[in-house]
Amino acid sequence: MQVKLINYTPNPEDAIIKAAANCWQSTPRDEILDLIIKAGHLTPLEFATFNFEVSGVSRALTHQLVRKRVGVGFAQESQRYVKYNENGFEYVTPPRIQNCDKSILYIDKTAHQIYQQAMFIIQVAYEQLVDIGIPAEDARFVLPNACCSKIHVTINYHALFDLAKERLCDKAQWEIRELVAGMKKEVQEISTTLAGYLQPKCYWLQRCPEKRSCGKVGFLCEK
Amino acid sequence: MQVKLINYTPNPEDAIIKAAANCWQSTPRDEILDLIIKAGHLTPLEFATFNFEVSGVSRALTHQLVRKRVGVGFAQESQRYVKYNENGFEYVTPPRIQNCDKSILYIDKTAHQIYQQAMFIIQVAYEQLVDIGIPAEDARFVLPNACCSKIHVTINYHALFDLAKERLCDKAQWEIRELVAGMKKEVQEISTTLAGYLQPKCYWLQRCPEKRSCGKVGFLCEK
Amino acid sequence: MQVKLINYTPNPEDAIIKAAANCWQSTPRDEILDLIIKAGHLTPLEFATFNFEVSGVSRALTHQLVRKRVGVGFAQESQRYVKYNENGFEYVTPPRIQNCDKSILYIDKTAHQIYQQAMFIIQVAYEQLVDIGIPAEDARFVLPNACCSKIHVTINYHALFDLAKERLCDKAQWEIRELVAGMKKEVQEISTTLAGYLQPKCYWLQRCPEKRSCGKVGFLCEK
Amino acid sequence: MQVKLINYTPNPEDAIIKAAANCWQSTPRDEILDLIIKAGHLTPLEFATFNFEVSGVSRALTHQLVRKRVGVGFAQESQRYVKYNENGFEYVTPPRIQNCDKSILYIDKTAHQIYQQAMFIIQVAYEQLVDIGIPAEDARFVLPNACCSKIHVTINYHALFDLAKERLCDKAQWEIRELVAGMKKEVQEISTTLAGYLQPKCYWLQRCPEKRSCGKVGFLCEK
């Protein structure tokens, strides 16, 4: 997975603080950011926007990601128009498949071998369908969730703050958690303050609302 | 594909007309609906909402559908939590694969046979991964775009009107066009007037903005 | 202020539960509503929508209300098109002005008298401007925030749930708090369960995030 | 009215083109912008965002402006918290009131004189209410629509494109048309290309959907 911040509102903290200060006609100053976040007065956070270039993620992830509807925009590589070339499609392998050391009696294969073989057969079927003349938009029906996608994401800081609450949670799907952690890391490069507020929901609630807790209530997500 | 309207704002036309009449403090009357749609004053259309139960659609379709962000809500069967039982997953077969009669030299199989075989092998791989102990949320990485999904959609008439403009277009992907045509058919049962305005964009523009036109500019989508 | 529920998704609880049950392919049952609200899995709440007819509210209130952007639609009486007739405009009087018993030396008038007189003079000026031939859309520049407005509101239960968190708070502006309490009362008539979850944010947080607390942390809003 | 662009996505054209190119995995190049706008494939336009500082506008305008719900965020001077000082509130005078030379028999005053007098009396009433001890959030009920407001607006180019379609129209309210023309002028300073696409809806439709047309169908808004 590659997550790269390729464009953003210059001086994002400043952009947010200026907007917030306008509400009370007060002087823009650094403490305002902390005040509004703690008070839940989050609209000014929308005055800073970040554009990310994301690649090497599965379409399982993107299907979940594009469910976010507010404060966010997507531009995703289309499987209708883009035909995979002779090198075939790339795919994501979940760590629990890659590192699984269990085996079962009736087949003499690791989870990873089963997985790789399935990917190979899918690739062959996709190519045969395209060769027969099936359009890419139909041939892609055989392609797996694992298939890599490239997606550009524009997200304002209010939406990113909300996304972090849900997706930095230990119960979130591993791949999307890794994506949001990657976004946080990129934001860190330009503002440690803004990155610092990107935390799972239990950090703000000081309790875990999940049915089965991970047991680390209120943990700080460092990276 | 099954598309079923399971709940909606009672008297949807009336709900829209009452809201629109409030803007000018005029008497609610039937012509208002036509007036506001022709004038592009579309907010009152949000006062009627429709809940659809959709099944037998591919996850290729749902990935595209959930991209719609405004005036719409989704509740989709989760592949993280739902494990496919011993009967395996169901899948959609694109008509151009099902009905393809072309063949190529090096393999003695129709497109449909290649497709069915790929689905079978994927199913076996999925089951083996689950048997080894891989969690459903990771095993699903092998599942294809073709995999059937069940999704509930709530959409207000403004959003449905916009969806029809894009997706009843002949250039839209066949499966999503079929879905929106199915929604239109269901709306038809309760209001022929509201169904009548669900038309592709060329009907409203009286020209085709697509790069390659289907040649039927301004056609009425009957069903 | 009059708040009237004039249309809604029939069996709203049921509509929400059906949608939620689809996510896990579980049997729809009553406990699901409580489970998803406590877990913060709120999207299914969008499957129930309510249409309210609101009148006798100030434009101070409506300016604030229409700031809500998600899950909500408005159709408001237009001051550009609607000319106030010879009876003049109606207006809201804040209770703290109506009931103020203080006086100040230099004028022998109560707050209420000052207020009424200002309204009368504004009414006369508005009429004179219209008589001279100034269009309603410009004459309205003299009209006060107090001026009554009629507004239709369509809001899904997810958005209403969020609105209650902010606006049932004791620190919210009195008029908008009264409006949301009025909406709650109307919902109560059709579902005590759904009305029961409409609570200020401190009820869910079990603490007050406001700078100056009202001191009633976690109070249940009964009406 | 002052409209000032105070922050924006650097190289906004480039940001949009990069996002759009990702969809088809094509090389980012200038023509893409024109292609996607003409084809109505507008999501990539969301990758450029503009922050405006707006002052000297009426609350009649802001009430209308904040109705826009998608792709936009606002931070407005609060009349609940901000008390107008001894110099009183500032206000907007509509040109048709300022320049009106008509008179009517029964009063020996121009429209402008009536207007100014009403503003003066409102100012006095507001001050008296505050002096008596009425809180600003209630005293403001006497303040007029004309009252000046300061508002910060963050808007992505997709939303600005849509706003221009509605509000650069000759039938839009004069003040909001002036605001959007002011935004366009500011965008012009950093990208003549992006400014060039900000046009009224008749430019794109090549016809006027309004009930009473201004007669200039398809006109280019130059400034």
Helix axes A31-39, A12-24, angle to 10 degrees: 70
Q: Is A59 considered catalytic here? A: no
pLDDT at B122 over 70: yes
Mean pLDDT score across all residues of chain C: 91
Encoding tokens for residue D87? Answer: 């110099």
Give the model's pLDDT for residue B215: 81
Q: Which of B78-92, C15-29, D106-120 has the lowest mean pLDDT?
A: B78-92
Question: Options 3.30.70.3340, 3.40.50.2300, 3.30.1360.170, 3.90.170.10; which CATH number does D2-76+150-205 get?
Answer: 3.30.1360.170
- Is residue C65 part of an annotated ligand binding site? yes
Q: What is the Cα–Cα distance from D31 to A8, expressed in whole angstroms? A: 23
Please give the interface size between C and D, counted as residue pairs whose CB atoms are below 8 Å apart.
143
Interface chains of chain B (3 or more CB pairs under 8 Å): A, C, D
Point out the residues of chain A with pLDDT beneath 70. 85-86, 105, 218-223
Torsion of CA B129, B135, B140, B141, to 10 degrees: -80
Nearest CA in chain D to B40: D209
CATH number of B2-76+148-205: 3.30.1360.170
Encoding tokens for residue D143? Answer: 């303040």
Q: Which residues pair with C153 in a beta bridge?
A: C52, C74
Q: Could you say which of A58, A67, A141 has the minimum Cβ distance to residue B141?
A: A58
Residues 6+ apart with CB under 8 A from D169: D177, D200, D201, D202, D210, D214
Encoding tokens for residue D17? Answer: 């083109």
CA distances in angstroms from D100 to A95, D93, D97, D111, D170, listed in the order given: 75, 12, 5, 6, 20
Binding-site positions of B read 43, 64-69, 76-80, 140, 156-158, 167
Domain A2-76+149-205 bears CATH identifier 2.160.10.10 = no
The shortest C-alpha distance from D58 to chain C (Å) reads 8
**Shortest CA distance to D96 belongs to which of C133, C131, C83?**
C133
pLDDT at D159 over 60: yes
Nearest CA in chain D to C64: D63
> Is the sign of the CA dihedral D106, D110, D113, D119 positive or negative?
positive
pLDDT at C76 over 70: yes
Is residue D146 less than 8 Å (CB to CB) from chain C?
Answer: yes
The shortest C-alpha distance from C6 to chain B (Å) reads 9
Q: Which residues pair with A154 in a beta bridge?
A: A51, A73
Encoding tokens for residue D88? Answer: 């009183």
Please give the interface size between B and D, counted as residue pairs whose CB atoms are below 8 Å apart.
16
Residue from A29, A59, A96, A167 carrying the catalytic annotation: A167
Q: Region B169-185: what's the mean pLDDT? A: 95
Q: Residue C140 — φ and ψ, nearest 5°?
A: -60, -15
Confidence of residue B81 (pLDDT cuts 50, 70, 90): confident
Amino acid at residue number A91: Y
The shortest C-alpha distance from A27 to chain B (Å) reads 36
B chain contacts of residue C152, beta-carbon cutoff 8 Å:
18-19, 22, 47
Nearest CA in chain C to B71: C71
CA distances in angstroms from C99 to C65, C102, C103, C106, C134, listed in the order given: 26, 9, 12, 20, 36
Residue where the block lists tokens 């009403």: D118
Is residue B201 less than 8 Å (CB to CB) from chain D?
Answer: yes
pLDDT at B222 over 90: no
Residue A189: exposure state from Cβ atoms within 10 A (0-12, 13-18, ≥19):
exposed
Q: Could you say which of B38, B209, B210 has the minimum Cβ distance to residue D209?
A: B38
- Is residue A68 part of an annotated ligand binding site? yes
Query: Taking CB atoms and an 8 Å limit, are A122 and B119 in contact across chains?
Result: no
Is residue D190 less than 8 Å (CB to CB) from chain C?
Answer: no
Give the model's pLDDT for residue B92: 97
Q: Region B128-149: what's the mean pLDDT? A: 94
Binding-site positions of D for FAD read 43, 67-69, 76, 156-158
Confidence of residue D130 (pLDDT cuts 50, 70, 90): very high
Residues of chain B with CATH 3.30.1360.170: 2-76+148-205
Q: What is the Cα–Cα distance from C88 to C111, expressed in whole angstroms? A: 22
Q: Which residues pair with C57 in a beta bridge?
A: C149
Q: Could you say which of D79, D111, D121 has the minimum Cβ distance to residue C132?
A: D111
The shortest C-alpha distance from A216 to chain C (Å) reads 17
Q: What is the Cα–Cα distance from B104 to A198, expressed in whole angstroms? A: 54
Q: Which of A89-103, B11-25, B99-113, D2-16 has the lowest mean pLDDT?
A: B99-113
Query: What kind and span of H or E run contains B26?
Result: none
CB atoms within 10 A of CB B101: 7
Nearest CA in chain C to D114: C125
Q: What is the Cα–Cα distance from B146 to B130, expressed in whole angstroms? A: 20
Best mutation target, B22, B68, B69, B74, to test chain C (most C CBs within 10 A): B22
Q: Buried (b) or exposed (e) across D65-84, using 16+ Cβ within 10 A?
A: bbebbbbbbbbbbbbeebeb
ipTM over 0.85: yes
Residue where the block lists tokens 């959409």: B155
Report the 3 state secondary structure along chain C. Answer: CEEEEEEECCCHHHHHHHHHHHHHCCCCCCHHHHHHHHHCCCHHHHHCEEEEEEEEEEHHHHHHHCCCCCCEEEEECCCCCCCCCCCCCCECCCHHHHCCCCCECCECCCHHHHHHHHHHHHHHHHHHHHHHCCCHHHHHHHCECCEEEEEEEEEEHHHHHHHHHHHCCCCCCHHHHHHHHHHHHHHHHHCHHHHHCCCCHHHHHCCCCCCCCCCCCCCCCCC
Best mutation target, A63, A80, A113, A140, to test chain B (most B CBs within 10 A): A63
Q: Could you say which of B22, B47, B76 has the minimum Cβ distance to residue C23?
A: B76
Best mutation target, B61, B62, B63, B102, to test chain A (most A CBs within 10 A): B63
B chain contacts of residue A153, beta-carbon cutoff 8 Å:
none
Report the 3 state secondary structure along A45-105. Answer: HHHCEEEEEEEEEEHHHHHHHCCCCCCEEEEECCCCCCCCCCCCCCECCCHHHHCCCCCEC
The shortest C-alpha distance from C144 to chain A (Å) reads 21
pLDDT at B168 over 60: yes
Q: What is the Cα–Cα distance from C220 to C200, expressed in whole angstroms? A: 8
Kind of pairing between the strands at D49-58 and B148-156:
unpaired
Query: Taking CB atoms and an 8 Å limit, are B118 and A122 in contact across chains?
Result: yes
Q: What angle do CA A136, A142, A146 make, to 5 degrees?
A: 105
Between residues D83 and A160, the one the model is more confident about: A160
Query: Taking CB atoms and an 8 Å limit, are C201 and A38 in contact across chains?
Result: no
Give the model's pLDDT for residue B218: 63
Query: Taking CB atoms and an 8 Å limit, are C133 and D173 in contact across chains?
Result: no
Between residues C180 and A170, the one the model is more confident about: C180
The shortest C-alpha distance from A10 to chain D (Å) reads 7
Query: Taking CB atoms and an 8 Å limit, are A38 and C209 in contact across chains?
Result: yes
Please list the active-site residues of C: 167
Radius of gyration of chain D (CA): 21
The shortest C-alpha distance from B177 to chain A (Å) reads 14
Confidence of residue B88 (pLDDT cuts 50, 70, 90): confident
Kind of pairing between the strands at B49-58 and B148-156:
antiparallel
Give the model's pLDDT for residue B211: 76
Q: Region B149-156: what's the mean pLDDT? A: 97
Give the model's pLDDT for residue C34: 94
Query: Taking CB atoms and an 8 Å limit, are D141 and C96 in contact across chains?
Result: no
> Is the sign of the CA dihedral B68, D177, C75, C166 positive or negative?
positive
Q: What is the Cα–Cα distance from B129 to D100, expressed in whole angstroms? A: 81
pLDDT at B80 over 80: no
Encoding tokens for residue B181? Answer: 């045509």
Between residues C99 and C209, the one the model is more confident about: C99
Give the model's pLDDT for residue C120: 95
Confidence of residue B144 (pLDDT cuts 50, 70, 90): very high
DSSP letter assigned to residue D107: B
pLDDT at D219 over 70: no
* Three-state DSSP state, D8: strand
Please list the active-site residues of D: 167
B chain contacts of residue D203, beta-carbon cutoff 8 Å:
none
- Is residue A158 part of an annotated ligand binding site? yes
The shortest C-alpha distance from A205 to chain D (Å) reads 26
Query: Taking CB atoms and an 8 Å limit, are A132 and B59 in contact across chains?
Result: no
Question: Could you tell me if D201 and D195 are in contact, meaning their C-beta atoms sit under 8 angstroms apart?
Answer: no
> Is the sign of the CA dihedral D176, D177, D179, D184 positive or negative?
positive
Q: Buried (b) or exposed (e) across C159-170, using 16+ Cβ within 10 A?
A: bbbbbbbbbbbb
Nearest CA in chain B to D71: B70
Nearest CA in chain B to D210: B39
**Shortest CA distance to B25 belongs to which of C72, C76, A95, D20?**
C76
CA distances in angstroms from A158 to A41, A46, B39, D66, D73, listed in the order given: 10, 5, 34, 18, 10
Residues of chain A with CATH 3.30.1360.170: 2-76+149-205
From chain A residues 2-61, the ones with a CB under 8 A of any chain B CB are 58-60
A chain contacts of residue D47, beta-carbon cutoff 8 Å:
7, 51, 73, 75, 152, 154
Is residue C97 less than 8 Å (CB to CB) from chain D?
Answer: yes
pLDDT at D222 over 70: no
Q: What is the Cα–Cα distance from B170 to D200, expressed in whole angstroms? A: 28
- Is residue A78 part of an annotated ligand binding site? yes
Is residue B113 less than 8 Å (CB to CB) from chain A?
Answer: no
Residues 6+ apart with CB under 8 A from B168: B177, B180, B181, B184, B198, B199, B200, B221
Give the model's pLDDT for residue A17: 97
* Three-state DSSP state, B58: strand
